[in-house]
Structure 1
Amino acid sequence: MARAAGVAGAALGRAAAPDLLAAVETWQAWLRNEKRASAHTLVAYTADLDGFLAFLAGHLGQAPGLADLAALRAADFRAWLAARARRGLAKSSTARALSTVRGFFRWTARQGVMENAVLPTVRTPKLDRPVPKALTAADARDAVESVGELSDEPWIALRDTAVLLLLYGAGLRISEALELTVREAPKPGQDGLTVLGKGRKQRQVPLLPAIGEAVAAYRAACPWPLPEEGALFRARRGGPLSPREVQRRVQLLRGRLGLPASATPHALRHSFATHLLGAGGDLRAIQELLGHASLSTTQRYTAVDSRRLLDVYAAAHPRARD
């Protein structure tokens, strides 16, 4: 770790006046000793600050010192952000770099070393939120119906079918499905399930009849003891089933069914939400079913459905094909 800090400090020496370099080295020591930052984090933060100071050296025409940083205007910070954009750097990378610079400026202010009043007014670049990648209804159905064909052991085939049904049929996260205990297992005729999601927040999800039936079939065939408080879904040797094993199953399905690379266990949850929305489901209700804390997270699915509608329009409307 000390070697990483030393290398970073040497690099900064080319783009910082002595007083600023001394402040940076003290900041690095604070990160290392007080904040207990890892070597990886320390190198990443130093690289972010190094890039900012290197830009300032060219922007100001000299290696910047503490007085130069205190005198920076909002336009100077925006010029740095614009330079990163011109270089094609990802917005997420720039947002992290700006966070690092802000952290350094907050530290210098607390230490009484240097303060800049305009930096807090500089807005973080708005990140592009990825659009959820859902499967088509036919692909999602094929995945659930075909996963059992991947195993020559009947109980494992039944287990995999039950797991994927919970993901696509009830919108569970893979962790939520695999954390179910035997006591919590859906039963035939049960029309709802209490799920413990992120932040230990409980929610109620409705159950398709097929889910309770699939879980019951798996339990009846499972060769391992299933105590009430134990994990419902078991691996081949009897331990709790891991998310990685479910991911491997879906990966095999991609090759067998010709599914896109975006077909993952989590894509089945995305498909649950997208298909409900496409069938006229209420956005607020879907938010509750998914356990999203914010409606804005659920609203990403409207982009998926709008894109699907545009594709249908382009393929079907007579004038769209002119």
Structure 2
Amino acid sequence: MKGRLERSSNAEKNRAEDDRNSSKTKDKMNHFVQCSVILFTIRRGIAPFVLHRRLDKMIEPRKHLTQIDVDRLIAATKESRHEMRDRCLLLLMFRHGLRVSEACGMTLSQVDIESRVLHVFRLKKGLSTTHPLRTDELRYIKAWLRVRAQMKPENDAFFISERLNPLNRRTAWDAIRRYGEKAHLPLAAHPHMLRHACGYELANQGADTRLIQDYLGHKNIQHTVQYTAANPARFERLWPAAPRR
């Protein structure tokens, strides 16, 4: 009886091993067929209809907003229910690379209008820094603070809701999504895109990686490299200007 059980167990193991080998063989054959089709269509001058899965990982759609996209997003707040608050929110999130939680958690003491600075408190153990405020930012801030004063909230939150509570992350998410749709942006907008847009725009302006790292409060510089690596200005001097003929 014991011998039968052992033989039966060995037979099952052999069948399982055969199934695994068969599966591996099928995968290899599928891979070979895909590569053969691609080579055939390229040689024939026809665009291949099968893309290798590794190429799919290399070709990724744009996941950040450009300066033009941000301008359109802010313009979409015009005549909205919370125009003053939301345009101030969008501009500060973009200019200072704020995460949505950092923006919603801002207090009045962080905004120093007289000194024209914003004290940025970073989350995720990031580097907290003090950023200068530009003229248009101060204008939007003052306009929002006038509206906020009329609402008479009993807290020191900089951005507040209709119920006079600190602005909720979900409310900010929904607002940015709606403004993106209203602006007909080429991609679905969400709050973190504004932080990425800040990094890419700083790189386009020629800021070096270390400076962008400090400005965005990145603890690891590897999170900053993506912005400068994608900047086309790095390659401008690789080819000399063509001689005039």
- Say which of 149, 162, 165 aligns to 2:88: 162
The alignment's TM-score, normalised by the length of structure 1, stands at: 0.51
The corresponding residue for 2:201 is 275
Instruction: Name the SS of the counterpart of 2:79 in structure 1.
Output: helix
Question: Residue 253 and residue 292 in structure 1: after superposition, are their counterparts in 2 closer, same or farther (change >3 A)?
Answer: same
Q: Which has the higher contact order (CA 8 A, sep 6+)?
A: 2
2:121, 2:128 within 8 Å by CA — same for their partners in 1?
yes
Question: 1:233: Cα distance to partner?
Answer: 0.8
1:12-32: CA deviation from partner (whole Å, max 9, x where unpaired): xxxxx9xxxxxxxxxxxxxxx
The corresponding residue for 1:194 is 119
Mapped to 1, the partners of 2:193 and 2:225 lie a distance apart of 16
2:101, 2:169 within 8 Å by CA — same for their partners in 1?
yes
1:158, 1:214 within 8 Å by CA — same for their partners in 2?
yes
1:304 aligns with 2:230: yes
Question: Residue 303 and residue 201 in structure 1: after superposition, are their counterparts in 2 closer, same or farther (change >3 A)?
Answer: closer
Instruction: Name the SS of the counterpart of 1:149 in structure 2.
Output: coil
1:261-294: CA deviation from partner (whole Å, max 9, x where unpaired): 3422211111111011012111111110100011
1:186-223: CA deviation from partner (whole Å, max 9, x where unpaired): 42x54322211122742222322222221221111123
Mapped to 2, the partners of 1:190 and 1:256 lie a distance apart of 35
1:15-58: CA deviation from partner (whole Å, max 9, x where unpaired): xx9xxxxxxxxxxxxxxxxxxxxxxxxxxxxxxxxxxxxxxx78
The corresponding residue for 1:150 is 80
1:147-188: CA deviation from partner (whole Å, max 9, x where unpaired): 24332xxxx21010111111112211111111111222342x
The corresponding residue for 1:208 is 134
- Say which of 51, 56, 63 aligns to 1:133: 63
1:178, 1:243 within 8 Å by CA — same for their partners in 2?
yes
Instruction: Name the SS of the counterpart of 1:150 in structure 2.
Output: coil
> How do 1:1-322 and structure 2 match up within 5 A?
61=17, 133-151=63-81, 156-187=82-113, 189-198=114-123, 199=125, 201-222=127-148, 223-226=150-153, 230-306=156-232
Total equivalences in the alignment = 188
2:210, 2:221 within 8 Å by CA — same for their partners in 1?
yes
Mapped to 1, the partners of 2:14 and 2:119 lie a distance apart of 59
Gaps of 5+ in 1: 1-16, 18-56, 63-82, 88-126, 311-317
Bigger helix fraction: 1
Matching residue's letter, 1:141:
D
Matching residue's letter, 1:166:
L
2:212, 2:224 within 8 Å by CA — same for their partners in 1?
yes
Between 1:261-270 and 1:282-291, the stretch displaced more is: 261-270
Gaps of 5+ in 2: 1-8, 19-23, 29-56, 236-241
The alignment's TM-score, normalised by the length of structure 2, stands at: 0.65
Question: Residue 201 and residue 280 in structure 1: after superposition, are their counterparts in 2 closer, same or farther (change >3 A)?
Answer: closer
Question: 1:132: Cα distance to partner?
Answer: 7.3
Question: Residue 277 and residue 200 in structure 1: after superposition, are their counterparts in 2 closer, same or farther (change >3 A)?
Answer: closer
